[in-house]
Structure formats: C-alpha cells, structure tokens
Homo-oligomer: A and B are copies of this chain.
C-alpha cells in the first residue's frame, strides 16, 4: 500500500493517465487517488484481526472485515493465519512465529508498492524478490536480562528487481516504495498500542 508522489501536480493532485501494467489497474489506481484527494474522509481505514488461542503457543487469527472508503468492507474470504513457537523454543511449530510475520508484512508492503509505483511510472517489471532478516536476542523475552530488548535489534532487507528500466530507475522505485510504506513506517517509527482485558 504505497504510491508515487513524483508525478503529482501539487495544485490539483491529478495524476497523468497511464495504461494497466504489472497486473496493476493503473487507471483505476490513479482515479482512486484523485477521488481520495478530493474527499479525504474516504482515506480513513480500520483494519482488524480476531485471534483465538488453540493450545500451547499456537493461535489462529481471522482477518475478514475492515472499514474503509466510507463503508464496512469484506475480504473475498475470511483469511486465516496461524502462529506458533518452533520446537527449539518449546512450541509445536504449527506455523511461523509471530516475529516472522513482521518480516512478511514488511516484504509484502514494499513489494506491493513497487508494483504500483512502477505501473504509475510506466515501468514493466519482470521479477521482484526480497529477503528479510531480523536479529533478536531472546534473553529479553525469556526474562533473563532487563538490558536486552524484547524485540528485533535490527532488520535487513535486500531486493532483487528486474524490469524494463535502468538499474538506477528500478532502485528509485524501491526507495519510493519504502518512503510510502505503511509497514516500514510502523516498524521504524513505532505506533501507540493499547492492551485491555475485558471480563
């Protein structure tokens, strides 16, 4: 979920027309941006997950509905994601760990942005692959040290990208996606999170 500011005329927020490309319906994407620019309340979204404990460290979340564009919306189906801890951390390994989903969220957010931005810039992509690595010292979460943070100490992401444009232009597209990535923003800048328990 990112887009490109570069082709925007600041006075009107009108984007230049572009043909569909990279599997992106570029005309509709540009029309959507123009519509939201003219009616900012359409930009207010709320995403949701409902999670259920199964056993041990295994849980499952459902992501079915969200609010956006002024109305309740439904995904095509109620998507599920399972998490567990691996055997080496005394889990049953019924799914990726919670922290691996953070890496997937980052990769998928930047990759979606790259496809959109390339389409808006008229660049046809052939391949986008990335690897994401996160380093974590478990003495934090295991309660062994109060000087070690609970979460990742650093995340490194590396892209391989091929398309009909010079390497510099492809790299600019990656960096523009980073500049407009919701997940990159949350992971690097943090967000207020409240946790409540209901009776």
Contacts and interface: CB of A to CB of B under 8 A. Distances in A.
B194 A156 contact: yes
Interface string A93-117: 1011111111111111111111110
Identical chains bound together, number: 2
A75 to B, nearest CB: 6
A174 interface: yes
Interface in A157-199: 157-161, 167, 170-171, 174-175, 178, 180-199
Interface size range of chain A in the complex: 35 or more
A85 B112 contact: yes
14 contacts: A1-B89, A1-B138, A4-B143, A5-B143, A23-B55, A23-B56, A37-B142, A46-B134, A49-B107, A76-B93, A98-B104, A134-B191, A152-B182, A155-B192
